[in-house]
Amino acid sequence: MSFFSRIFGVKKTSKPWEREKPLSWRENLQALKSLPRFLKLVWVTHPPMTLANSLLRVLQAGIPVTALYIGKLIIDEVVLLASHTGGDMASMWRYVAFEFALALLSALLSRAVSLMDALLGDLFSNKTSERLIAHAAKLDLPQFEDATFYDKLERARRQTTGRVVLMSQMFTQVQDMITIIFLGAGLVIFNPWLILLLVLAVIPAFLSETYFNQRSYSLARNWTPERRELDYLRYIGASDETAKEMKIFGLADFIRTSFAKLADKYYRANKALAIKRAIWGFVFNGLGDIGYYAAYIVIIFQTIGVPIEVFGITIFSGSDQLTIGDLTFLAGSFSRLRGLLRGILSRFSSIAQNALYLQDLFDFFEMEPKITSTPEALPFPKKIKQGFTFENVTFKYPKTDAYVLKDLSFHLHAGEKLALVGENGAGKTTLVKLLARLYDPDEGRILLDGRDIKEYDLTAYRAAIGVIFQDFVRFHLSASENIAVGRIEAKEDVPRIEEAASLSLADSVISQLPDGLQQRLGRRFNQGVELSGGQWQKIALARAYMRDASLLILDEPTAALDARAEYEVFQRFAELTAGKSAVLISHRFSTVRMADRILVLEGGKRLEMGTHEELHALRGRYAELFELQAEGYR
């Protein structure tokens, strides 16, 4: 197993390209069930345009049979005129004029229809993307950390633009069906046997199309993890964020060969299928041609006036001979019908396939968050009275074995500043995530003023808690927006943003930016300015001051600041949040000392807890670590 395969949890089999299992008919039909829902989504995107599009297509569906029939009238008239046995020049010209007008109308209609398809498609894909973003925001953090969820998200993301094709396919499908009814009516009037031949001419190709469509869908689906891995390799192989290390460690070859190996496997799997598809497609279409020419022969005999009998069944009695115009009309209708039917049938299987992809999108939309609150949930208290209590809290991350927090109990008083101390991996960040209800404990409870935090309204609860995480997001947006994310409703409130910036010492960073607060940060876009780690932290810290939080948590957001800046930041923080509860995480004891009490975590357990003086007097782990750091400064 390769390094990346392990990361992505990809299981290798000896012949991965043979893994795809075709979907059953049942699964295919099941997928079609999502089509009405899809149509509804298209409809709500823009009702007038959807309606107009449908009406124009019905109109368009009537054109082929009309055109063929006028063509027949023209030919019959011309034959009569040419043999000098009758015919009417004036009506012939009228027919020609009508045929020409029809051609113009058809061109106009098809332009209008494809224009509307394109516009509707754009609107649909925008709306779906919006829904995707909105829905993703509702889901829980644990869901995001799950690889199968990622695959689903990835497939759903691909659906937002890909499904536009499905929309016009479905419209075209209905339109072609109407066209077929019109054309088929003509055939039935002249000779019903032709319909049977038509079906025989089409079915073989349809079956092979359906089969291969299912195979390629299964292949694409089974390979989602690998495709994700390929995307990831492509990304780390060529991105500004990795360029430094790629060069220093000379990783280009390693990444390139990893990519090439995996890409080649996927290519081979695809190739095998594509070749099979081409060969069988040719064979089955050939069978269809036989049906077409049989029908042609029937029509020719009917025009010449020779009776046809097959196995004792009279297909044509010899009376009711066809005209030359009829011959062209029927031959034209038949070939048109064959094309249309073939199109419909192959489109049917491709619609079914697209519908399967659609299923992925709907599956994603149907995923529900587990961390929720009930409608009768408690409002967040205006003023916290007793504070937060951890009661024998035990927690491990989903799909992992090791407990990260074990039987943890402590109390955070209202208005208290608590510092968390512990080695990397001790569980400090996890504790914060539980406190913010990004996860729920496996055992034990977290109480706020004596009630389980699960009983409070989730939105209100999260709104009352401000956390600046260790791995806060560096949004490649403007400096002002980067600060405003702490309270996005206030994004236009410049004085408030400036105030927050000055409290977090970000004002010194902003004053150096060419465009000040409006400066775009990060290198992803033109005119973006990249900041140093410490500068980013000052910006992120300002988010905490934007928020009117009852509980503020700073999870090592100052690690990249120099000792003096960190000291200053925390001093201000303590002054400004006087009376509010706060949790501070830092490895610097000069900062930790400022807290009212200190909780020392080790391996997810509470090791010591007390004031700086108490813990110092205890001469335990805290005192030991404190001495160690003080030693370094002497």
Ligand X SMILES: Nc1ncnc2c1ncn2[C@@H]1O[C@H](COP(=O)(O)OP(=O)(O)O)[C@@H](O)[C@H]1O
User: In this structure, are residues 570 and 601 in contact, taking their beta carbons and an 8 Å threshold?
Assistant: no
In the complex, least distance from residue 429 CB atom to ligand X, rounded to whole angstroms = 3
Task: Tell whether residue 213 is a contact of Mg ion (CB under 5 A).
Answer: no
If the CB atoms of residues 43 and 397 are measured against ligand X, the closer one turns out to be 397
Q: Which partner in Mg ion, ligand X, none is near 211 (CB below 5 to 8 A by kind)?
A: none
- The gap from C-alpha 289 to its chain's centroid, in whole angstroms, comes to 42
In the complex, least distance from residue 435 CB atom to ligand X, rounded to whole angstroms = 12
Spatial distance between the Cα atoms of 439 and 441, rounded to a whole number of angstroms: 7
If the CB atoms of residues 271 and 399 are measured against ligand X, the closer one turns out to be 399
- Whose CA is closest to 310, among 321, 324, 328, 295? 295
Place of tokens 């004002």: 507
Q: Residue 98: which residues within 8 A CB-CB, separation 6 or more? A: 70
In the complex, least distance from residue 607 CB atom to ligand X, rounded to whole angstroms = 13
Query: Which span (42-50, 95-103, 320-328, 467-475) binds Mg ion, by CB under 5 A?
Result: 467-475
Query: Which span (93-101, 129-137, 421-429, 447-455) binds Mg ion, by CB under 5 A?
Result: 421-429
User: In this structure, are residues 200 and 206 in contact, taking their beta carbons and an 8 Å threshold?
Assistant: no
In the complex, least distance from residue 470 CB atom to Mg ion, rounded to whole angstroms = 5
Spatial distance between the Cα atoms of 408 and 134, rounded to a whole number of angstroms: 35
If the CB atoms of residues 404 and 595 are measured against ligand X, the closer one turns out to be 404
DSSP of 273-312:
HHHHHHHHHHHHHHHHHHHHHHHHHHHHHHHHT--EEETT
Contacts 24+ apart (CB under 8 A), 358-361: 358/31, 358/34, 358/35, 358/38, 358/159, 358/163, 358/166, 359/31, 359/34, 360/152, 360/155, 360/156, 360/159, 361/128, 361/155, 361/156, 361/159, 361/160, 361/163
Q: Which partner in Mg ion, ligand X, none is near 427 (CB below 5 to 8 A by kind)?
A: ligand X
Spatial distance between the Cα atoms of 28 and 19, rounded to a whole number of angstroms: 19
Task: Tell whether residue 429 is a contact of Mg ion (CB under 5 A).
Answer: yes
In the complex, least distance from residue 249 CB atom to ligand X, rounded to whole angstroms = 24
Binding residues for ligand X, rule: CB under 6 A, are: 145, 397, 400, 404, 422, 424-430
The CA-based angle 494-495-499, given to 5 degrees, is 115
In the complex, least distance from residue 404 CB atom to ligand X, rounded to whole angstroms = 4
Spatial distance between the Cα atoms of 553 and 577, rounded to a whole number of angstroms: 11
If the CB atoms of residues 227 and 406 are measured against ligand X, the closer one turns out to be 406
Q: Which partner in ligand X, Mg ion, none is near 424 (CB below 5 to 8 A by kind)?
A: ligand X
If the CB atoms of residues 201 and 554 are measured against Mg ion, the closer one turns out to be 554
Q: Which partner in Mg ion, ligand X, none is near 85 (CB below 5 to 8 A by kind)?
A: none
In the complex, least distance from residue 474 CB atom to ligand X, rounded to whole angstroms = 19
Q: Which partner in ligand X, Mg ion, none is near 480 (CB below 5 to 8 A by kind)?
A: none
Q: Which partner in Mg ion, ligand X, none is near 422 (CB below 5 to 8 A by kind)?
A: ligand X
In the complex, least distance from residue 584 CB atom to ligand X, rounded to whole angstroms = 13
In the complex, least distance from residue 462 CB atom to ligand X, rounded to whole angstroms = 19
If the CB atoms of residues 428 and 543 are measured against Mg ion, the closer one turns out to be 428
DSSP of 189-225:
HH-THHHHHHHHHHHHHHHHHHHHHHHHHHHHHHTHH
If the CB atoms of residues 433 and 454 are measured against Mg ion, the closer one turns out to be 433
If the CB atoms of residues 524 and 588 are measured against ligand X, the closer one turns out to be 588
Query: Which 86-115 residues touch Mg ion, going by CB under 5 A?
Result: none
DSSP state, residue 377:
P
Place of tokens 């106009």: 108
If the CB atoms of residues 394 and 470 are measured against Mg ion, the closer one turns out to be 470
Query: Which 469-498 residues touch Mg ion, going by CB under 5 A?
Result: 470
| Interacting residue ranges for Mg ion, rule: CB under 5 A | 428-429, 470
